[in-house]
Amino acid sequence: MNKATLIQEIKAKKSFLCIGLDTDIQRLPKHLLDAEDPIFEFNKAIIEATSEFCVAYKPNIAFYESLGSKGWDSLQKTMDIIPNNIFTIADAKRGDIGNTSALYARAFFDKASSGFNFDSVTVAPYMGSDSVKPFLTYDNKWVILLALTSNEGAGDFQFIENNQQEPLYKSVLTKSQEWANDERMMYVVGATRPEFFAEIRKLSPKHFYLVPGVGAQGGSLEEVCKYGLNDEVGLLINSSRNIIYASSGLDFAEKAKVEAQKMQEEMAKILAYNKLT
């Protein structure tokens, strides 16, 4: 999916919601556990209930690969039922030497090889350009590069300053723009650090940000939008647990729909207020 199509979907749905399919077998409603493929049945119900309110789905690959071949089968079936107009993110956080990254790219982007045809993959930038560029060899596919994350340990490395007294996360933002433009690269920027969005937006004015941390991790949608929106919206706000685990009962899909619609309605108001619809 190219950038123009993504923006078109955002405006059509009045939403920039990404739903994380962090589907944990240990948290599934008990009535699904007797199904042949509980993970897929859960995802199917969530997608059917929420697809009208979101523009992206983000399966966290760890939840699937931890189950071995059955997990990969569940992920494949899940991908096959996601509507074509919804942006898909393989939240894999890959990043290795070039020939290995090329195989990771093939795994998530080359349907003929692996069966998967994600629109994007999250990539760790620590090993530099040759670990990222293999993902950029596929047309209309995106790299979503980790820049400033929302986890507690982010400060261990991401704020270390270089010789120009620039923190590492800023170096990631500036250097990576030599590898791809805003039509092929997004950045992960955590919602728990909204005070940094204004400066990050100056460094990458046209890029989309994938923003985890709203909801369960305490991030504020209003604060993120205040500093992070641009004239093309430029944000994909991810929500996982708040939506998919809104209920653990028979009504789990219905409750997920309620939570997704609630977020979409908040986003519609923000878009209207900023004249972005």
Q: Is 93 a catalytic residue?
A: yes
Tell me, yes or no, if the pTM score tops 0.85.
yes
Residue-number span of the structural domain to which 184 is assigned: 3-273
Residue pointed to by tokens 């589907």: 23
- Burial category of 30 from C-beta neighbours within 10 Å (exposed 0-12, middle 13-18, buried 19 and up): exposed
- Residues 193-206 as b/e (b if ≥16 CB within 10 A, e otherwise) read bbebbeebbeebee
Calpha distance 88→19 (Å, rounded): 10
CB 130 within 8 A of CB 97: yes
**What average pLDDT does the structure give for the chain?**
93
Pairing of strands 87-94, 185-189: unpaired
Length of the chain: 277
Residue pointed to by tokens 């629109």: 119
Q: What is the mean pLDDT of residues 145-160?
A: 85
Calpha distance 173→131 (Å, rounded): 16
Q: What is the mean pLDDT of residues 125-141?
A: 95
Q: Is the pLDDT of residue 217 over 70?
A: no
- How many domains is the chain partitioned into structurally? 1
Calpha distance 264→81 (Å, rounded): 21
Q: What is the mean pLDDT of residues 191-219?
A: 84
Q: What is the pLDDT of residues 22-51, one digit of tens each?
A: 999 999 999 999 999 999 999 999 999 999
Query: Could you say which of 93, 206, 226, 262 is catalytic?
Result: 93
Q: What is the pLDDT of residues 248-260, one digit of tens each?
A: 999 999 999 999 9
DSSP for 24-74, written as a single string: -GGGS-GGGTTSSSHHHHHHHHHHHHHTTT-SEEEEBHHHHHTTTHHHHHH
Task: Quote the tokens at residue 4.
Answer: 């123009």
If pLDDT is split at 50, 70 and 90, which confidence band does 156 have? confident
Task: Quote the tokens at residue 229.
Answer: 């929106």
DSSP 220: -
Least confident of 94-108, 159-173, 208-222: 208-222
Which CATH number belongs to the domain containing residue 76 in this structure?
3.20.20.70
Residue 215 is predicted with a pLDDT of: 66
CB 89 within 8 A of CB 121: yes
If pLDDT is split at 50, 70 and 90, which confidence band does 153 have? confident
Residue pointed to by tokens 């369960």: 216
DSSP 141: -
Q: What is the pLDDT of residues 67-109, one digit of tens each?
A: 999 999 999 999 999 999 999 999 999 999 989 999 999 999 9
